[in-house]
Amino acid sequence: MKKVFLFTVFAFISTVCFSQDLISLKRGARVKAIVTEVTPTLVRYRLFSEPKGRVYFAYKDDVAGILYQDGRIETFNQPDSQLPENKSSLNENSNASQNEVQNQAQNQVQKQAQKQAQKQAQKQQPSSFVKDEENLEKPNKTAAHSFSQFHIGLALPLGRFAEGSSKDFENYEYANDFMFKNKGFAGMGFTVGYKYYSPLPVENLSWVFGIEAFYNGLNSEAKNGLLDVHGWENVTYVKYFNFPVTLGLNYAFPFSQSIKFYGEAAVGGNFSMPTKMSASYGDENYGESETITFTPAFGFAYGLEAGIFFNGKYSIGLRYNNLGSYKYKYSADYDAGYEYDDANDVKDNKLRKAFSITNTSVCLGILF
């Protein structure tokens, strides 16, 4: 009776084990899986615990061999020392018959199943096999899985947005005139942002959704012009805040196991918001003050980026941002301690020329 019971248990374990494929990795881990495809470079599979779940892949160079549920064995010309325990003995005799190979494979799977059953019965710590499988459910963030990125970096103004010097202030009458020259006088700023990546059916290609915030103040030339050329005092300088929201494509090319180069292009809209600017000199009896208030504007934006993903955890990127051109609406309030107090007030006017905002950002990111 005891022998009949043991035989029944043994047959049940064999049946369960052979309902799955066993992928053997070079690093020694074994993955219970359902292999869906083997290409010249990849092994695609679903986890045995999730037969209808997502499709994972492993690079063929990282796989020592596959033991299929029907007993077949496929190896990828790896040294025997890299195969898991007892599996190297299955290929020692290249002239062995298929039946002998299947018998040896069955013995190996049965021994492994018995070991796992014993460990579970003894309530020991999870085996390394279980840990490896859990890790595969949270793979490298830059593989074919959705992931997010938070980044921070420098925002370097370009073109007309960065142009301007103290000489531009020599022939203007009011503080808002410097913006009429279609120059931004912007200095170096910073940026923070968030991106969400979602893989497409095409290998290494993903959708990318991004939200960013850019800050640039005036450069030192502009500040010197307001203070020195016209003797303004108590100056509050204009600051540029821009908030682009974009959608685009990202292509990540694997250079090695831990490094991927990527390129990215995205389009969307930008919310641009210059802050209030004010300046004054003299006193309340004889002096002048000027306050300019800008109305936020919305425009078309796009970006081009290239960079590197490291170890599926970090990134570094260089990005060109065109945040659109704007004719900001503004109101100017002039106060003087004499008869011309409100003569030059301006309400709901527009800048004379479109104001372009472009920059280059250099960012470090964390993937999660």
Domain spans, the chain: 2-135, 147-367
**What pTM, to 2 d.p., does this model score?**
0.60
Torsion of CA 278, 281, 285, 291, to 10 degrees: -10
Query: Which of 137, 122, 264 minimizes the C-alpha distance to 207?
Result: 264
Domain spanning 147-367: which CATH class is it, in words?
Answer: mainly beta
Report pLDDT digits (tens) over 143-188: 568 999 999 999 999 988 888 766 666 655 554 555 556 778 899 9
Q: Which residues of 323-357 are buried (b: 16+ CB within 10 A; e: fewer)?
A: bbbbebebbbebbbeeeeeeeeeeeeeebeeebbb
pLDDT at residue 270 greater than cutoff 50: yes
- Take residue 290 and report the two structure tokens written for it: 């000027």
Structure confidence by residue, pLDDT tens digits, 46-68:
988 888 888 888 888 888 889 98
The predicted-structure confidence for 292-344, as pLDDT tens digits, reads as follows: 888 899 999 999 999 999 998 999 999 999 999 988 888 877 776 554 445 45
Tell me how far apart the alpha carbons of residues 108 and 114 are, in angstroms, rounded to a whole number. Answer: 10
**Type of residue found at 64:** A
**DSSP label at residue 116:** H
User: What number of CA atoms fall less than 13 Å from residue 16's CA on the CB side?
Assistant: 14
* Angle subtended by helix axes 98-121 and 2-17, to nearest 10: 110
First to last CA, the chain: 56
Measured distance CA(302)–CA(367) in Å, rounded:
23
∠ CA 13-16-21, nearest 5°, is 125
